[in-house]
Structure 1
Amino acid sequence: MKKILLILLTILLTGCTQSQVKELPPTIHMVVTTDIHVIDPSLVENKSLYDDLSLNYGDGRLLNYSGDILQIFIDEMIQTKLEYVIITGDLTLDGEKSSHEWLAKQLDKLIQADIQPLVIPGNHDIMSPTSRTYGSPSTYTPTLSAEEFASIYKNYGYKNALYRDENSLSYVYELRDNAWILMLDTAMYYENTSLGAESSGKIPSETFDWIETIGALAKENGVELISSTHHSLIQHNSYFNSSYTLLNTLKAQRIFDEQNIRVNLSGHLHAQTIAQKELTNGNITDICTSSLLTYTNQYGDIHYTPFNNFDYKTKEVDVETWAQTNSTNPDLLEFEEYSYAYFKHASTSRGADRFISKGYNDEQVASLQEAKGILNCYYFSGSANEVRDDFVETDFYQWLIEQDDDTKSYILTMIQESPIYPKEISIPLNS
């Protein structure tokens, strides 16, 4: 069966390619963003419900400003005049069909500027049982199927895909005649129930067969493969349990290694972190970009020269400059401070009970919560290395390391296990 599929794909490959249409530079300039969690504004009657949702979950997403941040991000991309914008899932708040339709209209601005968006779904996007409006009362609003997802986003990867996987929403897009990106659907929406959406992810076995076929085709035609998933290919931190990393990650790593896929772009963690793993044929790097809605509201800027180098570094959405001429909202005019305070508050809104139950007094509980909030801001934004050395010199740290293991790990895991350089990396691809 694989041989037949390989023959068919080889026949299809003889068609006109992007490089035959226009001359392109050898280095590809693209951006990756993730977990943008937009919602159709018409579904929102009471924005204060967003704060309840974000703070109760403790994830600090700036849901109130998701539409504003997206619009500013799109404007920046158009001004930058890059080639591709990759969005690695969780496009909507909770899979509202009208939110997907609203987002598609916004992404069309990129198309009009000759920038190609490429999207894949996340665990929030399809067949969601929590798709609803925000008002009094809050009511159910239609979600969508996998087929409807591909239809709504047909102009953002699916219609012009080089190849489509029959068993998922995965596809291959030609970046250059010598570089393809595997946009892989890892969401397990088919496991959703009325009780909730499945947050874990995996690559179906049939899709692994398809990846191997694509890999053989790429090797035959002198093409380099990179990939993109919503869930991480490599575990980045012991704090992030199995629902954040692919459930079948060891198999994925083996197959990626065999197909010489050295770079994967991911999301889902809402944390800015880069992990590498040495495998049989070389290193694999999983670059997880933090959510566009969380402090420091950044995205990944990429310059990729196939078979040569893959350069990645973060850039922050410049909300404050935009607000100076477009808004009088103090939250937006002092956005960096507002975003930091909001994320820190969300990080400290839960967890006090565990410290109280251990017998800590009010002052100690407040100090533990404050430390957790500050360290979370630095870890999730990829900046923990900036405060690590100073933090371990404090009296609080000296006191903390004498406490029980549960208390220590709850506070310290983020800063102790964070990568040294999570915000940028240069990966040689010619070895």
Structure 2
Amino acid sequence: MDSLFSGDGMRRRSFLKLVMAAGGATAAAAAMPRTARAAEAEVYPSKFTFAVMSDVHYFSPSLYGDNEDYVTAENSDRKMFRESSDILDKALADIVAAKPNMVIVPGDLTKDGERVCHEEAKEKFDAAREQLEAAGVNTQFYVINGNHDLNNHNGKDFSGGTAEDADRTDPSEYKGEIWTACGYTDTTAYDLGGTADGSLSYVAQPCPGLTLIAVDTCKYNVDAGDGTLAQETSGHISDDLLEWVCEQAKQARAAGDVVVAMQHHGIVPHFGYEPVIFGEYLVDDYERVAQAYAEAGISAVFTGHMHANDIAAATYGDATIYDIETGSLVTYPSRMRMGSFAFTQDGGELSCTLTVDSHDLGQVTLDSCGLTAGTQDIEGYGKERTLTVESVQTMLSGMIVKPLLSQYAPRGAKAIVAGLLPALGGDAFVGVTEENLNATLWGLVSSQLLPQGFDVAIEIPDVTPVGDVRIYYNADTQHVEAWTVTESADAADVTMALPDDASRQFASELAQVPATMAVEPGSCLLYISADTFNDFLEEVYDEIDAEALSADGQEKALAIVNLLVNLLVTASVDEAPHTLLDLVDFAYQDHLMGCETTEEWATTAVANVPALLPACVAAAVNQALADQQFVDFATSIEFNMRTLLRSDVPFIGSIAISVVAGMMENVKALLDTVADMAGLDLGETLAGLVSGLELMGEPIPALAQNALSTLCHDDNVAEDHNFSLAASATIPSGGSDGDEVDKSALQQVIDQAGALDTTGASQSALDELSAALALAQRVASNPDASAEDVASAQARLERAIKAVEESKRGGAGGNGGSGTSDDGSSNGSADAGNGNDKLTSTGDASLIPVAASALGGAAALAAGLGVRHHMNAANLDE
């Protein structure tokens, strides 16, 4: 095993080394609870070891079913769900063998927030913890939620033969019932009783000298439209939460701690185009967050979400912050990280060295969910299953095509066209609506696409039996006109090919042609008006609605999309041959592994993408047009050209119909006719259109090239496994009188509050105890606190404790007392330390009492790092 904790010492392939120095007499003042005290080297562990595993995406075997719905779900994702249980077992076995002091998990514990998945994953964690305890190691587990874990409507149970909604997990269940022991005991919670975004955040002190801030960056209070809440992929940190995180970091730094954080979403881009194409993998306004973290003294943030093993840094003035991203257990290369914090002290100087390694799980036995693969090298196994033709087809269909069809099909073809045209850009489509769509298209055809006169008309040679024909728009008559232009195609020649009665009628009608349409020598074959054009389009919309947007039609359309995707991704990009999918898969996997080392063929292919992509599109389109699936589908959508070619001169219209209508009876015939008449290569034409379109502000080929290039070329921290850096932190000296303020009495009262049994206390008393204890904790950990600050905080906390005891007895203090400070100010107003009194989110003040009650009392709610509380089942039920 490639473990950081092997008996032979640090026999590892790679590591991250972070050195932080803390100076001053209070450097050692980080033991729990967080109170500045004289430097004592023995309070710091020489090495505090840890493991990081992210994006576990555990899928319970009880939800698995061998059916079409499950196959579709599996192909709609790059994750190995059936394998997830076995992979987690192996990861936890490696952790038990390594015996770390701490395990952190930066989110996405489950496939899609299924309640049973949370419960079973937690049971596996508990079993590992018990094995570690049996080995004499008290390993602490800390988790934070990911975007998949809460209020997720994608959680399904496939065991019954079809996909049925699984029981979801909400924030209260997550932290109050399931993961309570993995971050929500012996910690400072942001909003323990709340359910708003961010409410799962907390602060822990895993060991003396180290503060860990777990930040809930997820969005799970989105209106689902059915009376329930749903989640989103992207993340954010509210202003209140950001302020709280930074205040916690500053207080920890002031107390002499090294500060790290963990959260699901990143704060520093891990490849150049991440903000452009995968912006939802970074928190909203990530630069502002990163700067705030750095300036508050947070040295590193452990993240996940992108499933990559990558390290990135951002510097703001003298402050640098490192975003240490860990890949997913269930996608290539299925790695986690292991590392340690090592503390040394030299007089008043405290140094901490952080090492981080990439840990390979190696061999995993795969036998859950009907798997019969046996023991596999999980890295190689996952490499073959990252991106496949089937997964790309299913993801595109499930994420783009099906949602679009579901959204737009009920609106009909006309509404769809009116909605999509503005996206193509250009002044011609500004302000297009269903009401003016046909008029807009007529204007486009008549004034932009067709020549504006006979002399510059489009010439179509040898149109039997009339010879050469020219088509143009005649502004005088406001018709699209078609005229014969050769001597042999006069009326006499035409009538010779017609029955006698028809010949006489044709000759008569030619005489009725307006003088403004006359072309000598020649004859008018047809002219299309705005009215006939409008009637024709309405019939086309109805035909598309019936043949393409119906349930059967949508299935046919999806089949065509899958055909086109297959042809596109399997197109060759070199002579090897490597395909376009090979190139995308290589670039993606290169980034997932970290320490990107591109191969020559991929470098060449990426450089050629601006030419390769249009060529691949052209080849795929032309192959698709010739495929029988497309031929059958396109033939089924018929055109009634008689409507379009209806002429004010009846017989001329019939002549046009006999010549043209037979050539364009359906979509397939129309495409063939247009291609033949204009000499077009439809694949190249479409490829040209694609090349000219912009996506996210860039032409599509340029966007593709830049995204692939930055995935395989790391322009931030190039070494994602074997890396070293140095940073420093200066701890302020003592209080205004030389840090000789005695806080021992205050600490005794804090300890008393932490051990207080609050069963039966009134809510008002608990609320005041929460505020008083929060203030006392900050004063105790503030090296600049004055003697007056200490005395005031101690007096207030003593009164709060007394009020709790009296309210339990139903005495005079049963209402929790007046809750005023020595100077008569109201509850929570005194603030002798830095920051504010709240330990809960301001998003829902009504939940503050609930939070206090849920932990068995306000003392437990506000207890600082390391202050233990007594859980009370009766209070938890309130």
Which TM-score applies when normalising by structure 1?
A: 0.84
Matched position secondary structure for 2:298: coil
CA distance in 2, matches of 1:407, 1:219: 44
Contact 2:105/2:144, CA 8 A, preserved across alignment? yes
Return closer, same or farther for 1:223/1:23 CA change in 2, 3 Å cut-off. closer
Deviates more, 1:302-311 or 1:264-273: 302-311
Report what 1:45 is aligned to.
65
Contact 2:150/2:231, CA 8 A, preserved across alignment? no
Pairing 1:378–2:404 present: no
Report what 1:261 is aligned to.
298
CA distance in 2, matches of 1:328, 1:347: 19
Aligned pairs, how many?
407
How many Å apart are 1:281 and its aligned residue? 2.8
- Post-superposition Cα deviations, 1:32-56, rounded to whole Å, max 9, x if no partner, equal 1111111222222237755532432
Report what 1:213 is aligned to.
247
**2:106 alignment partner AA:** T
Partner residue of 1:295 out of 332, 336, 347? 332
Return closer, same or farther for 1:42/1:363 CA change in 2, 3 Å cut-off. closer
Report what 1:422 is aligned to.
720
Return closer, same or farther for 1:405/1:187 CA change in 2, 3 Å cut-off. same
CA distance in 2, matches of 1:67, 1:287: 25
**1:124 alignment partner AA:** H
How many Å apart are 1:97 and its aligned residue? 1.1
Pairing 1:88–2:106 present: yes
Pairing 1:193–2:211 present: no
CA distance in 2, matches of 1:90, 1:362: 32
Pairing 1:110–2:128 present: yes
Contact 1:277/1:285, CA 8 A, preserved across alignment? yes
CA distance in 2, matches of 1:88, 1:424: 21
How many Å apart are 1:328 and its aligned residue? 9.7
How many Å apart are 1:264 and its aligned residue? 0.5
CA distance in 1, matches of 2:242, 2:569: 53
Pairing 1:286–2:323 present: yes
- Post-superposition Cα deviations, 1:334-368, rounded to whole Å, max 9, x if no partner, equal 543321111142797347979969x9796437622
How many Å apart are 1:202 and its aligned residue? 1.2
Return closer, same or farther for 1:370/1:215 CA change in 2, 3 Å cut-off. closer
Matched position secondary structure for 2:149: coil
Matched position secondary structure for 1:337: helix
Matched position secondary structure for 1:74: helix
Pairing 1:131–2:339 present: no
Matched position secondary structure for 2:579: helix
Return closer, same or farther for 1:47/1:123 CA change in 2, 3 Å cut-off. farther
Which has the larger Rg?
2
Report what 2:181 is aligned to.
155
Contact 1:31/1:299, CA 8 A, preserved across alignment? yes
Report what 2:706 is aligned to.
409
Report what 1:315 is aligned to.
359
Contact 1:180/1:224, CA 8 A, preserved across alignment? yes
The runs of 4+ residues in structure 1 deviating greater than 6 Å are 351-357, 359-362
Report what 1:4 is aligned to.
none
Return closer, same or farther for 1:210/1:410 CA change in 2, 3 Å cut-off. closer
Matched position secondary structure for 1:200: strand
Contact 1:34/1:90, CA 8 A, preserved across alignment? yes
Pairing 1:337–2:380 present: yes
Measured on the aligned residues, the alpha-carbon RMSD in Å equals: 3.3
Contact 2:302/2:324, CA 8 A, preserved across alignment? yes
How many Å apart are 1:417 and its aligned residue? 4.4
Contact 2:50/2:102, CA 8 A, preserved across alignment? yes
Partner residue of 2:341 out of 279, 290, 304? 304
Deviates more, 1:366-375 or 1:108-117: 366-375
Pairing 1:364–2:566 present: no
Contact 2:389/2:569, CA 8 A, preserved across alignment? no
**1:86 alignment partner AA:** I
Contact 2:290/2:314, CA 8 A, preserved across alignment? no
Matched position secondary structure for 1:64: coil
Report what 2:27 is aligned to.
none
**1:66 alignment partner AA:** S
Contact 1:265/1:288, CA 8 A, preserved across alignment? yes
Return closer, same or farther for 1:398/1:156 CA change in 2, 3 Å cut-off. closer
Contact 2:258/2:352, CA 8 A, preserved across alignment? no
Report what 2:171 is aligned to.
146
Tell me, which stretches of 5 or more residues in structure 1 are unaligned? 1-9
Return closer, same or farther for 1:179/1:337 CA change in 2, 3 Å cut-off. closer
Contact 2:333/2:378, CA 8 A, preserved across alignment? no
Partner residue of 2:115 out of 77, 82, 97? 97
How many Å apart are 1:127 and its aligned residue? 1.2
Task: Report the identity percentage.
Answer: 19
How many Å apart are 1:250 and its aligned residue? 2.6
Deviates more, 1:187-196 or 1:305-314: 187-196
How many Å apart are 1:124 and its aligned residue? 0.6
Contact 1:310/1:427, CA 8 A, preserved across alignment? no
Contact 1:300/1:314, CA 8 A, preserved across alignment? yes
**1:159 alignment partner AA:** T
Return closer, same or farther for 1:389/1:182 CA change in 2, 3 Å cut-off. farther
Report what 1:228 is aligned to.
262
How many Å apart are 1:130 and its aligned residue? 1.9
Report what 1:7 is aligned to.
none
Pairing 1:36–2:56 present: yes
Matched position secondary structure for 1:175: strand
CA distance in 2, matches of 1:259, 1:203: 15
**2:375 alignment partner AA:** L
Pairing 1:70–2:88 present: yes
Return closer, same or farther for 1:354/1:275 CA change in 2, 3 Å cut-off. farther
**1:45 alignment partner AA:** G
Return closer, same or farther for 1:154/1:411 CA change in 2, 3 Å cut-off. same
How many Å apart are 1:193 and its aligned residue? 2.1
- Post-superposition Cα deviations, 1:278-310, rounded to whole Å, max 9, x if no partner, equal 112321110111111111110011222354322
Report what 1:6 is aligned to.
none
- Post-superposition Cα deviations, 1:212-246, rounded to whole Å, max 9, x if no partner, equal 33123213311121100100011222145321111
CA distance in 2, matches of 1:222, 1:165: 22
CA distance in 1, matches of 2:562, 2:314: 34
**2:218 alignment partner AA:** A
Matched position secondary structure for 1:215: helix
CA distance in 2, matches of 1:142, 1:206: 31
Contact 1:274/1:422, CA 8 A, preserved across alignment? yes
Deviates more, 1:279-288 or 1:365-374: 365-374
How many Å apart are 1:329 and its aligned residue? 3.9
CA distance in 2, matches of 1:207, 1:104: 27
**1:74 alignment partner AA:** L
